[in-house]
Structure 1
Amino acid sequence: MEYFTVEETNLICIYDIRTRAGLLRDLYAATEDVYDPELLEVFKAVIHKLEGLTDGEYLELAPGLVPADDLEVDA
């Protein structure tokens, strides 16, 4: 089971994902400029999920954080 939705993963991949703390910092800063209610909900969902993870848990998930356009699809 995937932890983040496709929309959440695509949002995450815009930012530097090397550390959970750095990603959270970037997401919090970006929310100040998000005026679309639906997009803001995606930001909030990602932040909430990241806050619930330990750094170790995040590092286990990080390799799977690939934008949807970069996923290989078996034909």
Structure 2
Amino acid sequence: MGLFTIDEENLIALFDVSTREKLLAGLEEALPYVYNSEMMEIINRIIGKLKIIDDETYDMFPFDFTAYYDAKND
């Protein structure tokens, strides 16, 4: 499922992804503190995507980044 780009997924990994609402809230809370225009653009793209999908669709995304980090550290 390719809704999020690699850059978006990397940024998402910094937030609580347990629910769509928590991720959305975290991104919206962080936005006023971001001064890099590229980072602002990425956050706004993620927010836009999160607002158009429902919770059922969100739950289908494998936001378990531990497998990536475990493989990288082996």
- By the TM > 0.5 criterion, same fold? yes
What is the TM-score when the length of structure 2 is the normalising length?
0.84
SS in 1 for 2:65: coil
Seq. identity, %: 34
- Whose relative contact order is higher, 1 or 2, with alpha carbons under 8 Å and at least 6 apart? 1
What is the identity, as a one-letter code, of the residue corresponding to 1:23?
L
Give the corresponding residue for 1:26.
26
The count of residues paired between Structure 1 and Structure 2 equals 71
Residue ranges of structure 2 left out of the alignment (5+ in a row) = none
What is the TM-score when the length of structure 1 is the normalising length?
0.83
After superposition, the Cα gap between the structure-2 partners of 1:65 and 1:41, relative to the gap in structure 1 and judged at 3 Å, is: farther
Aligned residues: CA RMSD: 2.0
State the shift of 1:64 in Å: 4.4
